[in-house]
A and B are shown apart, each in its own frame.
Chain A
Amino acid sequence: MPDVTVHLPGLDLKNPIMPASGCFGFGQEYSQFYDLNQLGALITKATTLKPRQGNPTPRVAETESGMLNAIGLQNPGVDHVLAKELPWLAEHYPELPIIVNVAGTHVDDYAAVCAALKAAPNVKAIELNISCPNVAHGGMEFGTDPDSAAQLTQACSAVTDLPIYVKLSPNVTDIRPIAEAVSRAGAAGLSLINTLVGERFDLMTRQPILANVTGGLSGPAVKPVALRLIQQVRSVTDLPIIGMGGVSTADDALEMLVAGADAIAVGSANFREPLACPNIIADLPKRMTHFHFENLTKEIHWEGTK
């Protein structure tokens, strides 16, 4: 049997597959469909210091083999997440490593959420969302400027012992300087890609479908872009990468690992196929055997990036 375990800072994973932030709530809904203990880990919805209401509706639109979303970081706030969501996960899935996606508007509130998460023993890592394209001050200004990204990473690392995976935006001319800047600032790992900014219009009304006008593109349509950006980031850093963007099958996951990722998050595919993650996990060893992978260490990264 090929070895599907993956070992990253803070995360000893029995397999590399985890649901992506915002596509799996805090786990309860999908636990109606399967035992979440099958997952390598779970990434939560973005969590901010105060509860957030998000954007007006419609918040989603379909695109060819993908979708746009403009949820706008609606979440119940870190106090509620600590009081309700994380304890629920700890009670039902004590062994499941949780990664909390942290969002904010200023360095201070990001850092306050990171500090507060110390109180939850099942949180094994933080994913710092500096890339939400859907709110005016949702972090993307951090994610598109290397200096601000580095400052934020440093401020957050200073208040927590948890490893910080910085989630990068694809909506930049060159992603490498940002990856390098957060790497120097103390990031334990990187996570990419967040969604690509897009729009759709309704021909009957001649209006944008999304109330927010723009939204973030995800799903199979973005996979080639994600692969390219992961491969590019891999070429400038040795930090572990949680890769995501359009993964729906074990082959998609393996392709992303070859491009330079070390673990895989599955987002929009959950909506189409609620069993997307367990299906990928079940198929992975078979597909690894088929393609002659013995394990999922760095050795499988494309040598062009090494």
Chain B
Amino acid sequence: MPQQQLLPIVAQHQVAPEIYEMILTAPDLVQTAQPGQFIDVLVPDHPEHFLRRPFAIATCDAKQGQISFTYRVKGPGTEAMVACQVGTSLDVLGPLGHGFPIADVTPGTPVLLVGGGTGIPPLLGLAQRLQQQGAQVTTVLGYRSQAESFYQDRFAKTGEVCIASDDGTLGFHGHVGLLMAAQLTERHFERAFACGPKGLLMAVKNRYQAQMPTYLSLESRMACGIGACYACVTPTTDHELKKICSDGPVFPAQEVVL
């Protein structure tokens, strides 16, 4: 059940150029939020930024009662969020949507996570949760360059990490689709999860959906964030439309047309 809450900002710091991590006190959210769910955030002090902004929940710290999300400065709304001060609060709706299905992942199961750009943060919480469940986690991360990379060290604590960068300054030279083709064809996984730009989702869908349960987290421009306005739909393989905000954002790869 989503709630509207004012969540105090505990910390905000830059993790890469133009990329910031925000930590919020959210004792209720940490109880219920699942990896892959998102929050819809009102830009404080700027009523002209009329709509809320959707951001994936990155990590949940049950002990501290804190959640984090990590965002790229794209337009005026996220630009204004950089100025948010510790001690003030964010007006947040959440948890929204359906996250990655992992309840039935058993200990020892080899799972593959593939993320690129701002699709990377929600995979961190997913990797941490899968590790707690005893899964064998392999993560493929795609960045533009070494300078713009973040969170590799935190993923390294959850399992194996393969890194690609568009300009070759870090890890494999090329996008994650090429990395998967070059390094992972012989590897056995039983479930795949992906979040990132369309090309990345296509690559994961095409490579894995016929072999194993494969789940993709989609994005769309949203208005309500809860399924009431039909702004955010995606076509499905059976010629229907699903709402990314409330039916997703995570979908079985075989169900959606990208």
Residue of chain B at shortest CB distance from A59 = B231
**Candidates B50, B221, B222, B227; contact of A268 at CB < 8 Å:** B50
Q: How far is the CB of A48 from chain B (nearest CB, A)?
A: 13
Q: How far is the CB of B231 from chain A (nearest CB, A)?
A: 4
Complex: how many Å from CA A59 to CA B224?
A: 12
Complex: how many Å from CA A185 to CA B163?
A: 69
Residues of A within 8 A of B49 (CB): 62
Listed stretches A21-29, A102-110, A146-154, A254-262; interface member: A21-29
Known contacts A65-B50, A271-B51; is-contact A25 B221 (Cβ 8 Å): no
Complex: how many Å from CA A71 to CA B246?
A: 16
Residues of B within 8 A of A219 (CB): 50
Complex: how many Å from CA A75 to CA B228?
A: 11
Asked whether A65 lies within 8 Å of B4 as measured between CB atoms, the reply is no
Task: Report how many residues on chain A are interfacial, defined by Cβ distance under 8 Å.
Answer: 35
Asked whether B227 lies within 8 Å of A29 as measured between CB atoms, the reply is yes
Asked whether A32 lies within 8 Å of B226 as measured between CB atoms, the reply is yes
Taking residues whose C-beta sits less than 8 angstroms from the other chain, chain B's interface range is: 20 to 34
Listed stretches A50-58, A224-232, A282-290, A292-300; interface member: A50-58
Residues of A within 8 A of B221 (CB): 57-61, 209
Complex: how many Å from CA A32 to CA B228?
A: 12
Residues of A within 8 A of B241 (CB): 53-54, 74
Asked whether B4 lies within 8 Å of A33 as measured between CB atoms, the reply is yes
Residue of chain B at shortest CB distance from A58 = B221
Asked whether B224 lies within 8 Å of A57 as measured between CB atoms, the reply is no
Asked whether A60 lies within 8 Å of B222 as measured between CB atoms, the reply is yes
Residues of A within 8 A of B226 (CB): 29-30, 32, 274
A67 beta carbon closer than 8 Å to chain B: yes
B126 beta carbon closer than 8 Å to chain A: no
Q: How far is the CB of B229 from chain A (nearest CB, A)?
A: 6
A272 beta carbon closer than 8 Å to chain B: yes
Residue of chain A at shortest CB distance from B240 = A53
A207 beta carbon closer than 8 Å to chain B: no
A 51-96 contacts with B by CB, 8 A: 53-54, 57-67, 69, 71, 74-75
Q: How far is the CB of A23 from chain B (nearest CB, A)?
A: 6
Question: B residues engaging A (CB < 8 A)?
Answer: 1-4, 42, 47-52, 77, 93, 220-234, 241, 246
A-B contact pairs, 16 of them (CB 8 A): A22-B229, A23-B229, A25-B227, A25-B229, A29-B227, A32-B2, A53-B241, A54-B241, A57-B232, A62-B77, A71-B230, A74-B241, A219-B50, A272-B42, A272-B50, A272-B51
8 cross-chain pairs, A with B, having the tightest CB-CB distances, nearest first:
A25-B228, A29-B228, A60-B231, A58-B221, A74-B230, A29-B226, A271-B223, A60-B223
Question: A residues engaging B (CB < 8 A)?
Answer: 22-25, 29-30, 32-33, 45, 53-54, 57-67, 69, 71, 74-75, 209, 219-220, 268, 270-272, 274-275
